[in-house]
Structure 1
Amino acid sequence: MFPIGSLGLAALIHFGGASIEHSLLSIKILALIVVAIFIFATVFVVLHHAEAVARRLGEPYGTLLLTFSVTAIEASVIVSMMLHGANNPTLARESVFSTVMIVCTGVVGVCLTLGGLKHRYQDIKRQGTNASLAVIMALTVLTLILPNYTLATVPGAFSASQLAFVSVLSVLLYGAFVFAQMVRQRGDFIEDLTSRAEHEEHVSEGGKVTTNVLLLFVGLAGIVLLTEQVAGSIEDGLAFLQITQADAIVGFFVAALVLMPEAASAVRAALNNELQRGLNVALGSACATIGLTIPAIGAASLLTGRSLMLGLGPGDTVLL
């Protein structure tokens, strides 16, 4: 119900946005509250279908399916907002940076803390986890730090040829990581569950896997399209209030809202004593955000001629 409802609400807001824009402030606030309710409700429905797909397909295929779908839609939202209105060259950088920081310092920390409090001791595959962190480190340095040290253009930006090269290199690096995760070193990313029978009762009993996948995509599309509407409202509000660094705030909200299904899935996996799957979801989303979103944004920048600033400032570089 909620996945289809969220998608329908997003379409209604898109086609009826002009009437809402000229309505009273109370109507606008009520519309935002309704959108927020649908987003949070759809997150839990999407989480249910994501877990059903993950258990039916097995690891790491279920996790990769969730990661690819969220990343693809996130990239489309960022590109759409980049092309909306005036040129905002730092929005993509802030969204990607926020995603990495939320995952590495927030989602992973919550998984470790809550999982440890409930189960005391949890096993992980260190080699697979270290590989994920190494890929994240390489991709972040390549895309968010290296632009500050190039000489072909202004600091913080790549030239067209450099952006194309870095985009291809990011895709190749992420592709090598996925190949290792799915084929070459698959065992490094799959935990040895001794209590698998205890969790089998949670497998979805309704419908086939195709139904779960379809509702998963519909729910994710609804969440992200509604997120775009909320982010657009926040962007307009910040512009009206003349708040500096509005792109950083909007980027954080986009990253936080889009990451909700993956964050909830990772935390629930940790609570179910499946910490490795939770880390696969969390760290995999960070890898995919850089390895796939940056190339998509770079392609949009090259095709439209919009400027793109990827280099982080000194303070953000230290935090990273």
Structure 2
Amino acid sequence: MITRWTVFVPLLAVVALLLTWGRNLPGFGVVVVASALVGAVLAAVYHAEVVAQRVGEPFGSLVLAVAVTVIEVALIVTLMISGGEKSATLARDTVFAAVMITCNGIFGLSLLVGALRRRVAEFNAEGTGAALATVATLATLSLVLPTFTSSKPGPEFSPAQLAFAAVASLLLYGLFVMVQTVRHRDDFLPVEGRGVVTEDALHGERPTVRTTLLSLGILLVALICVVGLAKVVSPAIESGVASAGLPHAAVGVVIALLVLLPETLAAVRSARRDQVQISLNLALGSAMASIGLTIPALAVATIWLDGPLVLGLGATQMVLLAITVVVGVLTVVPGRATLLQGGVHLALFSAFVFLAASP
């Protein structure tokens, strides 16, 4: 069940981390570390999939989403610690980028692949709609309201407001997980025609307990390597963005793209297997975890972070978020989508990427 590269790559990442920690790297060294970082991310998500296959859906999508969010939080905090005041908007930019990538990029690509296979991509509107509503609420509480609050100058929360947003985000995410995995689990399983696909039809032979525990251990090692290697390569990411003449917000986009690339591949594979619902669970679950877990983690991190924490979105970003929510609702309500809906979401994703590079 476990392939050799998924064991060797994390071990190589550990070696790379030990050899490069605390050192200034030349160009070749940056390439090597970046390759090890990407390999560690891919290995982490692979082992998360093994664990997910053991626990079944929708727990599987939840495992992947949480694993990816741990990586994202680690990268954000690492870069904010080393970046000082110039990284004040990094958390906002990364979380917003994650929302746009998942709710438009992964969402649209999954619908496109599903519609290409069966002309119409079918999914469970009840579960997907609940997930989209939760993402919209979390994004508004954490990313839109700071622009309009007046207790503190600028698009920032006061300490009390940040604590409220963190607790509300964590509770809302926990409530959704309970609904997804316990009370209304069937709403998040794939559909075939008008029926819900059973779990036996979703999985072949499941991995053994021993294999699952081994994958869980390697997953933890890979995540630690991601955190450490991100710290090592972070100066190169920021200098590369600056030398390309891109705004500093592009750093957040790069982080989100790096973290969510394996998630994208997993969603596309599910869509190709006619399991579009799993793809949408991955997309919206990652967006939800990105906000619901990142904001509380950053609220705690502000205890030792020196610089400000800017969370409020600008006007252009709020417009993109608003149209994403409206289009998402119109896509989800029928419970089925064609190539057109997938194309619309991908067009919004393209607009986000273009405007991030050319605001």
TM-score band, normalised by the shorter chain? 0.7 to 0.9
Q: Percent identity?
A: 41
> SS state of the match for residue 200, structure 1?
coil
Q: Whole-Å Cα distance in 2 between the matches of residues 206 and 3 of structure 1? A: 21
> SS state of the match for residue 153, structure 2?
coil
8 Å contact kept, 2:57–2:199:
no
Tell me by how many angstroms 1:55 deviates.
1.6
Tell me by how many angstroms 1:199 deviates.
5.5
Q: Mapping of 1:5-24 within 5 angstroms?
A: 5-15=12-22, 17-18=23-24, 20=25
Counterpart of 1:55 (choices 47, 53, 56) is 53
Tell me by how many angstroms 1:223 deviates.
3.7
1:232 correspondence with 2:231: no
Aligned to 1:216: 219
Tell me by how many angstroms 1:267 deviates.
1.5
Q: TM-score normalized by structure 2?
A: 0.78
Q: Whole-Å Cα distance in 2 between the matches of residues 220 and 121 of structure 1? A: 37
> SS state of the match for residue 310, structure 1?
coil
- Letter aligned with residue 270 of structure 1: A
> SS state of the match for residue 312, structure 1?
coil
- Please list the CA deviations of residues 83-109 of structure 1 after superposition, one character each: whole Å capped at 9, or x if unmatched: 114222101111111111111111111
Q: Whole-Å Cα distance in 1 between the matches of residues 108 and 136 of structure 2? A: 18
Q: TM-score normalized by structure 1?
A: 0.87
Tell me by how many angstroms 1:261 deviates.
2.3
Q: Whole-Å Cα distance in 2 between the matches of residues 79 and 42 of structure 1? A: 18
Aligned to 1:116: 115
* The 10-residue stretch of structure 1 (191-200 or 61-70) with the greater mean CA deviation from structure 2: 191-200
Tell me by how many angstroms 1:215 deviates.
2.0
Q: Mapping of 1:274-293 within 5 angstroms?
A: 274-293=275-294
8 Å contact kept, 2:41–2:259:
no
8 Å contact kept, 2:74–2:227:
no
* The 10-residue stretch of structure 1 (227-236 or 96-105) with the greater mean CA deviation from structure 2: 227-236
Aligned to 1:193: 197
Q: Whole-Å Cα distance in 1 between the matches of residues 268 and 208 of structure 2? A: 22
RMSD: 2.4
Q: Whole-Å Cα distance in 2 between the matches of residues 121 and 244 of structure 1? A: 39
Q: Whole-Å Cα distance in 2 between the matches of residues 242 and 66 of structure 1? A: 33
8 Å contact kept, 1:7–1:222:
yes
8 Å contact kept, 2:267–2:279:
yes
Structure 2 gaps of 5+ residues are: 1-7, 191-195, 322-359
Q: Whole-Å Cα distance in 1 between the matches of residues 209 and 275 of structure 2? A: 23
Aligned to 2:33: 35
Tell me by how many angstroms 1:272 deviates.
1.6
Check 1:223–1:284 CA distance in 2 against 1; reply closer, same or farther (3 A cut).
same
Structure 1 gaps of 5+ residues are: 21-27
* The 10-residue stretch of structure 1 (271-280 or 92-101) with the greater mean CA deviation from structure 2: 271-280
Q: Mapping of 1:94-105 within 5 angstroms?
A: 94-105=93-104
Q: Whole-Å Cα distance in 2 between the matches of residues 301 and 293 of structure 1? A: 12
Q: Mapping of 1:122-141 within 5 angstroms?
A: 122-141=121-140
Check 1:244–1:253 CA distance in 2 against 1; reply closer, same or farther (3 A cut).
closer
Aligned to 2:163: 164
Q: Whole-Å Cα distance in 2 between the matches of residues 150 and 44 of structure 1? A: 40
Tell me by how many angstroms 1:244 deviates.
6.2
8 Å contact kept, 1:181–1:188:
yes
- Please list the CA deviations of residues 184-242 of structure 1 after superposition, one character each: whole Å capped at 9, or x if unmatched: 111111123379558626x5589521012222232343345434433331213445x49
Check 1:89–1:97 CA distance in 2 against 1; reply closer, same or farther (3 A cut).
same
8 Å contact kept, 2:45–2:64:
no
8 Å contact kept, 1:231–1:250:
no
Aligned to 1:25: none
> SS state of the match for residue 208, structure 1?
helix
Counterpart of 1:81 (choices 50, 66, 79) is 79
Aligned to 1:298: 299
- Please list the CA deviations of residues 270-313 of structure 1 after superposition, one character each: whole Å capped at 9, or x if unmatched: 11221111111111010001011011112212444531111111
Q: Whole-Å Cα distance in 1 between the matches of residues 149 and 115 of structure 2? A: 43
Counterpart of 2:67 (choices 69, 78, 89) is 69
- Letter aligned with residue 212 of structure 2: V
Aligned to 2:355: none
- Please list the CA deviations of residues 37-96 of structure 1 after superposition, one character each: whole Å capped at 9, or x if unmatched: 334444444443233222211112222122222212321221121111422210111111
Q: Whole-Å Cα distance in 1 between the matches of residues 121 and 110 of structure 2? A: 11
Q: Whole-Å Cα distance in 1 between the matches of residues 294 and 308 of structure 2? A: 16
